[in-house]
Structure 1
Amino acid sequence: MIMSSRGSACPRCGQATVSIGEAVPWCAACEWNLDTFDRAGRAPEFGWAWIDRGTYRLAARLTRQQYAALVDRPLESSGLGLAGVATAVASILLTVGVVALAATGVWMLFAFAFPNLAVVAGVAMIGLAVALRPRFGVVRDRRPGGRVSAGR
């Protein structure tokens, strides 16, 4: 990325404006004109200029709000929070559901005599439970030869 000074002064603070390539110039000191949509410098996301402009401005506003909310927070973790608790509860419920599915499948295998449709349903339940089981440990990278450890 090559940032170049444009020579023009910012109308808000008087500092020199900068630009990346041929993009719209903006002020690095006060961030004037930083949220201006540059149609030539961006690939269309939705194809309609008015929607692209609106989503760009919305993203810029939400980014500023999130930065303002996070700028004065301490770097230490603030605890689990509501989202963490909801995720943990959902994970436990899903894991219990998979275990119950497997247990029901095993029960259906042995509770009924062999030539029965319940045996087929039991095998299907066990197969679904195996497919839905939680996977811990290593996250596989889709690139050839890529392996990334979980937690790093």
Structure 2
Amino acid sequence: MLWTITVGCLLLAGLIFRQAYRREDGQEMAGEDAGLAILEFGRAFPDEAIREVITTANGRTVFLRLHDGKAGCMNAHGHHYSCHLIEPGTVRVNSVGPKRLTVQFANAAYEGGTFEFRDERETAEVSLWLLGSFMPGLAGADQQVVGQPS
């Protein structure tokens, strides 16, 4: 009888340890590593150059600033990412608070949602990327003032 109880306790302890280890492993694979996100986005879109990466506070979503005014979004789903290339004008962004944004994609509604960032600066950066408010081609243009006749 004592052996049965001992074996049962060991099996129960092993099951608890396995579940705890699996939960930690799942969180790591779900987006804690921005380097993995960069590699996955590079595989999905090999012609896009990444300039900057910002992850959400929980690490499950990664927003990427690309070289030509576009942005990218990657959501972690277990052991893989879903990659989404965002063209200017195909996204709607609303502020929900100082560190939170609600994002709706016109061409991929399932990718949208409310995202929380680590600080206000990151939230503002991502909102600018998504709205296409910055004009990377303008910085290298000739010194003529935009809107002035030539």
Q: Report the TM-score, using the length of structure 2 for normalisation.
A: 0.23
Structure with the greater alpha carbon radius of gyration: 1
Greater strand proportion = 2
